[in-house]
Amino acid sequence: MSEEMIKPYGDTLHDGVVQLSFTLPVENGARAKKAVEIYLSKLNFENISVAHAYKIADNFTYFVVYARAIPTLDYSMVKAAEVKIKKMDFYEINELIKRKINRRLSVVGATIGSDAHTVGIDAIMNMKGYNRDYGLERYPEIDAYNMGAQVTCEELLQKALEVEADAILVSQTVTQKDSHIRNFTELIELLEAENVRDRFLLVAGGPRISNDFSVELGYDVGFGPGTVPSEVASFLVTKILERKGA
């Protein structure tokens, strides 16, 4: 493969222009601005221009800066495991389940651990859905069980076994001190200890979740911010059909 060198684009190819905003724990002044220039040059920027500097607390200054990034990257060398699934809509998905799977899918979802945020799991599962895309509860061919937040891994597994779930959806919004990693891992460990990992498709989701990250933790897939329910449903149907060898 031929080299494909890239860097950020402002208004001219390869200009490397980047917009930054950050705070330094120093008083505003000429010395603070100089510090920004030196610091950003250490980060491999050039043509550093401090557009805005403002005192936001005693001994703290906020900056908006434009600068040109020096490094270039060979894009042909970049690999990432994107979720490669043909995206279908609500009607196509239901039709496919009816025709090819010939039974309703069962899906259990929850926010696990101490995380109290249901916003992610609700966006995917609630009838209403997200961004004008119906939630899984609305799918006539899917039995969706949204257990809400602060569900323990044990409760989630128990429910999944009880309703013979095809898939388990796990959401994590709070990521402070990597609590999400601990929670995601705890579930995997439980499933493996109980010898049931292969019974379910395991789906991770949340604002700071990527597919790569989720696969690394042992999940089948991970969905990040902006995911709509039909993307998740498309994935589930495609994978279940794959497993059936269809």
Partner 1 sequence: MAKIPLDTNQVDRLKQLAKEITDQIQRFICKHSSVSVERTVLRLYGVDGVDSEGTPIPNRLVEILWEKDNLKSGVSPCFAGAMLESDRDPQTTAELIERGKIEFGDLRKFSQGDILEKEKELSENAVAILDSTRKKKQEKIKKCPLPRQPWRYLIVATGNVYEDLTQAKSAVLAGADIIAVIRSTAQSLLDYIPYGPTTEGFGGTFATQANFKIMREALDEISEKEGRYVRLVNYSSGLCMAEIAACAAFEDLDILLNDSMYGILFRDINMKRTFIDQYFSRLICSRAKIIINTGEDNYLTTSDAIENAYTVTASQLINEAMAKKAFLTDDLIGLGHAFEIDPQVENAFLYELAHAQLARQLFPKAPLKYMPPTKYKSTDIFYSHCLDTMFNLASVATGQGIHLTGILTEAIHTPLMQERYQALCSVNYVFNVARDLGKEIEFKKDGFVAKRAQRVLDEVENFLKELKKIGLMEAISEGKFANISRPFDGGKGLDGVFEKAVDYSNPIIEQLESEGVIHE
Beta strands per DSSP E along 42-125: 45-57, 60-69, 73-74, 105-111
User: Least distance in Å: CB of 199 to partner 1?
Assistant: 28
User: Least distance in Å: CB of 139 to partner 1?
Assistant: 17
User: 56 phi and psi, to 5 degrees?
Assistant: -110, 0
Helix axis angle, 153-162 to 179-193, nearest 10°: 50
Residue 185 is a binding residue for partner 1 (CB under 8 A): no
Residue 175 is a binding residue for partner 1 (CB under 8 A): yes
Binding range to partner 1, per CB under 8 A, among 28-36, 84-92, 109-117, 210-218: 109-117
Pattern 211-230, partner 1, x by CB under 8 A: --------------xx----
Catalytic residue selected from 33, 87, 128, 239: 128
Q: Which of 29, 114, 181, 198 is in the footprint of partner 1 by CB under 8 A? A: 114
Strand order in the sheet with 221-223: 142-146, 105-111, 167-171, 201-205, 221-223
Report how far residue 201's alpha carbon sits from residue 198's, in angstroms, rounded to the nearest whole number: 7
Report how far residue 167's alpha carbon sits from residue 141's, in angstroms, rounded to the nearest whole number: 14
Comparing CB distances to partner 1, the nearer of 106 and 152 is: 152
User: 62 phi and psi, to 5 degrees?
Assistant: -100, 135
Verify whether residue 33 is a known catalytic residue: no
Catalytically active residues, by annotation: 128
Q: Which residues bind partner 1 (CB under 8 A)?
A: 21-23, 54-58, 60, 62, 114-116, 118-119, 122, 126, 128, 132, 148, 150, 174-177, 179, 207-208, 225-226
